[in-house]
Amino acid sequence: MKAYYDKDADLKRLEGKTVAILGYGSQGHAHAQNLRDSGVDVVVGELPGSPPWQKAEADGFKVSPAGKATHTGDVVMMTLPDEIMADVYRAEIAPEIRDGSYLGVAHGFNLHYGQIRPPEGVNVFMVAPKGPGHIVRSLFARGEGVPALVAVGQDPSGDTLQVALAYARGIGAGRSGIIETTIREETETDLFGEQAVLCGGLTALMQAGFETLVEAGYAPEMAYFECIHEMKLIIDFIYEGGISNMRYTISNTAQYGDVTRGPRVIGEAAREEMRKILREVQSGEFAREWILETKAGKPVFNALTRKGEEHPLEEVGRRLRGLMSWLAKDRLVDRDRN
């Protein structure tokens, strides 16, 4: 595995170039602001009249529709929702993208599954931060950086990796590591990780734990603290020093329960389901399902998201967090602002 750091990436590769960030959402606002702070010339492409357009303007960027920003950009980053990126590409980006320019993504979905096929003369790269956009911005502002994966899709100019590394350095990733990969590897591991572990696996685990305690007659507040609130404290230890670091700090009783009971919760049935989920990612079955779901107006997505929002643990959580005043201060996500 090859990793690059600030010393391996030359910001001069972006000198004299304009970077167009298309989509000022979670990733887009962080890339735009970090690149600007790194001395790069940035313009933003957004939907006219939308709240993110107004946020980008309030943050001092020159904003135009995606097509016009693409026309201005020498490097064009598509930080657009994956499920609409191909439509925006066809309608607004493809007519404006020039041979010799650099077209970027922050996740390989549309390139890997063939939804976007840029012309041969366009350089294609991926810089995929391994963290949510709000963290990409907040760590950068503190002098740190979220690591990122870098890959080259096509390279007619012969310097696409260098340009991509400069971009990755500009958003702060070179401070913690830019790891070289392929678009296929990034896409498949990213989808698997968010489905089986980070988002899907984790929220289902917490909900099931909460429900098990409440079903058995324990107070929902107790269940919330045990199965949801404390997760962050445990994860912080793992983030800092791995699982053994976390086990060093918990009690011996907790550690014995951990090592003997954890493998029962995630037993052979769960592992078999993980393999199945990975196969659906590799075969393109998940991608097809998600593209069709989007075309149908996202009925399953909306229904299951609503069901999650109506879960009793959300209400209990709101009440308990209201009592912890410090949580409201310096929030990473403030929907009015970023």
Considering beta carbons, is residue 20 or 246 the nearer one to ligand NDP?
20
Other beta carbons within 10 Å of 247? 15
Strand positions, DSSP E, 5-112: 18-22, 41-45, 63-64, 75-78, 102-105
Cβ atoms of 102 and 126 within 8 Å: the answer is no
Indicate whether 183 belongs to the interface with ligand NDP (CB under 6 A): no
Indicate whether 82 belongs to the interface with ligand NDP (CB under 6 A): yes
Indicate whether 67 belongs to the interface with ligand NDP (CB under 6 A): no
Q: Look up residue 211 and give its two tokens.
A: 């429900």
Catalytic residue status for 29: no
Closest of 100, 98, 77, 80 to residue 88, by C-alpha? 80
Q: How far is CA 44 from CA 37, 53, 64, 167, 189, in A?
A: 15, 8, 7, 15, 29
Q: Is 276 strand, coil or helix?
A: helix
Q: Of these, 190, 313, 316, 317, which contacts Mg ion (CB under 5 A)?
A: 190
Indicate whether 289 belongs to the interface with Mg ion (CB under 5 A): no
Considering beta carbons, is residue 28 or 201 the nearer one to ligand NDP?
28
Binder of residue 290, out of ligand NDP, Mg ion, none (CB less than 5 to 8 A by kind):
none
What sign does the CA torsion over 313, 315, 318, 322 have?
Answer: negative
Cβ atoms of 164 and 14 within 8 Å: the answer is no
Q: Of these, 87, 99, 194, 230, which contacts Mg ion (CB under 5 A)?
A: 194
Binder of residue 79, out of Mg ion, ligand NDP, none (CB less than 5 to 8 A by kind):
ligand NDP
Indicate whether 94 belongs to the interface with ligand NDP (CB under 6 A): no
Write the interaction track for ligand NDP spanning residues 266-295; mark x where CB under 6 A is met and - where it is not.
------------------------------
Q: In whole angstroms, what is the distance from residue 72 CA to residue 137 CA?
A: 24
Write the interaction track for ligand NDP spanning residues 23-52; mark x where CB under 6 A is met and - where it is not.
xxxxxx----------------xxx--x-x
Indicate whether 193 belongs to the interface with ligand NDP (CB under 6 A): no
To the nearest 10 degrees (0 to 180), the angle between helices 26-37 and 51-58 is 20
Indicate whether 82 belongs to the interface with Mg ion (CB under 5 A): no
Give residue for tokens 């970077």. 19
Q: DSSP characters for 140-206?
A: HHTT----EEEEEEE-TTS-HHHHHHHHHHHTTGGGT-EEE--HHHHHHHHHHIIIIIITHHHHHHH
Q: Of these, 43, 76, 77, 106, which contacts ligand NDP (CB under 6 A)?
A: 106
Q: Of these, 19, 20, 21, 22, which contacts ligand NDP (CB under 6 A)?
A: 22
Considering beta carbons, is residue 92 or 190 the nearer one to Mg ion?
190
> 71, 107, 112, 311: which is the annotated catalytic residue?
107
Q: Known catalytic residues?
A: 107
Residues that bind ligand NDP (CB under 6 A): 22-28, 45-47, 50, 52, 66, 79-82, 84, 88, 105-107, 128-129, 132-133
Residues that bind Mg ion (CB under 5 A): 190, 194
